[in-house]
Structure 1
């Protein structure tokens, strides 16, 4: 019986390690940090925050198209909010 409990615990831990949010192409914490970087660069005007994010975190391949959408958007805050909503996350 102890083995069955251990097996369940292992399955549960594996389930907790599924990192991506439904709709987000990256793990939750990365998606949140990316959204924050987008907001800081394109809404708050703090400089090359997204570039620094890519340099430090990686994930440029799955996320660069989202940066392009924000960069090209007329209303950058709304574009970030739309991405966050699609990913099931709160906007920064």
Structure 2
């Protein structure tokens, strides 16, 4: 199955730093082609990303450079394991 690039306004789901999410694409930047596209996503519910029991670090709006596989990459095109994305 090949990756289908979501568009602005599309419902998406995936994984962000080990936490499942659902949300909406709020923006797409094509400046990094052919490596990938930078996606801005607003999660339906904030995701807790802190590993500490002593503090909270919620994320609801995130941005990530997504490769044609649907997985996030760094600026050099290497997988970074931060986010996976798919149409919901």
TM-score (norm 2): 0.25
Q: Name the one with the larger helix percent.
A: 1
- Structure having the higher Rg: 1
